[in-house]
Structure 1
Amino acid sequence: MTEKDFLTSEYSSLKNTGKVRWKSPSNIALVKYWGKKKNQIPANPSISFTLHTCATDTSVSYRKLDKKATEFSFDLFFEGKLKDDFRPKIETFFKRIETYLPFLREYHFKIETSNSFPHSSGIASSASGMSALALCLMAMERELIPEMDTDFFNKKASFLARLGSGSACRSIEGPLVQWGKHSTIEASSDFYGIEYPYKVHEIFMNFQDTILLVDEGQKQISSTVGHDSMHGHPFAEQRFGQALKHLSDFQTILGDGNLGEFIKIVESEALTLHAMMMTSHPYFILMKPNTLEIINRIWSFRKSSKSNVCFTLDAGANVHVLYPGKEKETVYEFIKSELLQFCENGKHICDRTGSGAKNMSKTPAT
């Protein structure tokens, strides 16, 4: 499908009032997306685990205006408080998607949203937040176009979410979502994420992700600036080629349940992501000393215990400790005894792979 497939002609009628609500998870990339082209197109494809616990719950109440507005009309409440500082991001998002949802200026929206995890802590709040909002807006459109099927609904929701935050397009479905055109992955697209289309061994269907909150502070550099740093990066082409190869290798690894090779790629991807940051212009370091201490302890424990525990990182200091569900008890004891001391006040989140976003609307809109 292309961008033209998501254009909507005029609606036969518009509802006067209503409310929709969706809960959408964050995700953790295994093969990282770093660098983008115009219109939120990824410089390289990626694949991620959809999470279960780390999620954004968003409701949108809408009221039809007497006449079409010249500006977007909305109020945004984050965890019960009016958040005007979020307005610019939502306005930018609405401008990007208005072509595909032409009803946006016809309504006043009350957007109420909350996270199950700390905002700006490196747990991709933009992914869960923008996907939840995109799903709410798509739920509105499906009320106007009742014949819309689920496959199209999910694809367009992912397409719209991408225009708010690139990684948000990977939060619609689960447990594994691939985004970005790849020559050997059927139906892959730069415009939206797809549920991974090939065989996935059962061991990856219940993978655990214990997120260690090394630093809960605001990131020192935004993801947008980080992505832009790949333009003219001296190692950009090698990095993009590496990601393509890793995705090709994953087809066999994920199908066979080869944990040893899975670990090699996942940890290499995490370290490569941060290597790109450290070798860009401007250069920057998001890892903290405790991040490195945790990584070294994971390596030592894996060697001594023969466990299949590994780590990955997003663009921040926090560590995602990944391990099979069958090793949950042993690995979590290791985390408690050796790793929590390196977190802010021992803070961590126990998560696992999830199945994607959930419709939380209790009653149909009126």
Structure 2
Amino acid sequence: MIKETAPSNIALIKYMGKEANNIPSNPSLSYSLPHLLTTVEISKTDASEDQWAALESEYAIELSEKGKARYLKFFKKLKDHFGLSSNYLIQSANNFPSDAGLASSASSFAALTKATYSLAKSELDTEAFQALGFTGEFITDREKLSALSRTGSGSSCRSLFDTWSEWQTDFAVEESFSYSKLLHLAIIAEEDKKEVSSSDAHIKVKSSLLMEGRTARANKRLADLKNALNEKSWEAAFEICWAEFWDMHALFETSEPSFGYMTADSLMVLNECRSYWKANQDGPLVTMDAGPNVHLLFREDQKSCYEDFIKIFENKFKIWGSES
């Protein structure tokens, strides 16, 4: 039995809009969240085809028939790539709720890619494995695996890295900045399954007039954010991240027909964040994915600020935190 895990990630420069094979319309930059994990186990089965089942966990994964077919289709693609012919049982679990804007697709597809890579390493001889272009060292092979994982779920290509990663085209690469470790809080404004999946959002936003110029705006913010993170210009990073997630949500709201993820509670959380910054001239980086929940990232020296936000929201919302 093979067992692997992969983290969720939160993009600060967003991936929204894509071409064939999940090639992004614009670059993205993300931070991995190792406290939000998907676990995948793979074992051989005597069944006539590959199967999927949920592992026991507090947040049991409930895949629709469409979702299950997508996951197994991607596993078949990975098996073909590695030359694996047996049938297997895939079991997976998250330690956080799916479909609630916490990037469960990213972590689940990345974990499946890692697990299939480990499976191939255990079943193929060294020469056959290396003939596929892999060294057998995960750190060395991550970029190649990132390109593979991207074809299953675009944002999953960023969930193969420990902290920062940048995705431009085929694969993601590791990045490093002056802020090497951040604290994370996710304020869960709503746990219900999203009415519009992230995959559907990528298609729908093409109808927004604001898509014109989106790539240029994302490229500019990417360069500005990398500069701010390197120079420890935290307030500048906050402003860039704030503008970026609003840019993405504006695409949703101006699509034809329009759709959206923000709720009254989302807006309440955002207003609290802005008020905190105004009162203290400091605060967390704030962002949202394609969902109603708000993500906050803190410097390591902001533990008191981190605790302030827990106190602000703990009696109103469920909170997922890296320090809890």
* TM-score w.r.t. length of structure 2: 0.89
Q: Deviations over 1:306-325 (max 9, x none)?
A: 22323100101111122212
Deviation at 1:96, TM superposition (A): 4.5
CA distance in 2, matches of 1:91, 1:116: 21
- Size of the aligned set, in residue pairs, is 310
CA distance in 1, matches of 2:221, 2:43: 43
Deviation at 1:263, TM superposition (A): 0.6
Match of 1:110 in 2: 89
Percent of aligned pairs with the same residue?
27
Kindly indicate whether residue 148 of structure 2 is the aligned counterpart of residue 177 of structure 1. Answer: no
Kindly indicate whether residue 303 of structure 2 is the aligned counterpart of residue 328 of structure 1. Answer: yes
Match of 1:251 in 2: 226
Give the secondary structure class of the aligned counterpart of 1:42. Answer: coil
CA 1:251–1:319 in 2, change beyond 3 Å: closer, same or farther? closer
CA 1:326–1:226 in 2, change beyond 3 Å: closer, same or farther? same
2:177 aligned to which of 200, 203, 206: 200
Match of 1:140 in 2: 119
CA distance in 2, matches of 1:207, 1:79: 30
Contact kept, 8 Å, 2:52 with 2:72, in 1: the verdict is no
Kindly indicate whether residue 9 of structure 2 is the aligned counterpart of residue 27 of structure 1. Answer: yes
Match of 1:14 in 2: none
Kindly indicate whether residue 94 of structure 2 is the aligned counterpart of residue 120 of structure 1. Answer: no
CA distance in 2, matches of 1:142, 1:227: 34
Unpaired stretches in structure 2, ≥5 consecutive residues: none
Q: Deviations over 1:112-167 (max 9, x none)?
A: 21111112221010011010001011112223153532355312321221111110
CA distance in 1, matches of 2:205, 2:188: 27
Match of 2:51 in 1: 74
Deviation at 1:99, TM superposition (A): 4.8
Matches within 5 A, 1:2-41: 19-41=1-23
Match of 1:215 in 2: 190
Q: Deviations over 1:175-204 (max 9, x none)?
A: 100011xxxxxxxxx1211101xx511xx2
Larger relative CO (CA 8 A, sep 6+): 1 or 2?
1
Give the secondary structure class of the aligned counterpart of 1:36. Answer: coil
Match of 1:90 in 2: 71
Deviation at 1:226, TM superposition (A): 0.3
Unpaired stretches in structure 1, ≥5 consecutive residues: 1-18, 181-189, 353-366
Match of 2:28 in 1: 46
Kindly indicate whether residue 290 of structure 2 is the aligned counterpart of residue 315 of structure 1. Answer: yes
The CA RMSD measured in Å over matched residues stands at 2.1
Contact kept, 8 Å, 1:294 with 1:342, in 2: the verdict is no
Deviation at 1:294, TM superposition (A): 0.9
Contact kept, 8 Å, 2:78 with 2:113, in 1: the verdict is no
Q: Deviations over 1:280-304 (max 9, x none)?
A: 1221121000111111111111111
Please say which structure displays the higher CA radius of gyration: 1
Match of 1:191 in 2: 170
* TM-score w.r.t. length of structure 1: 0.79
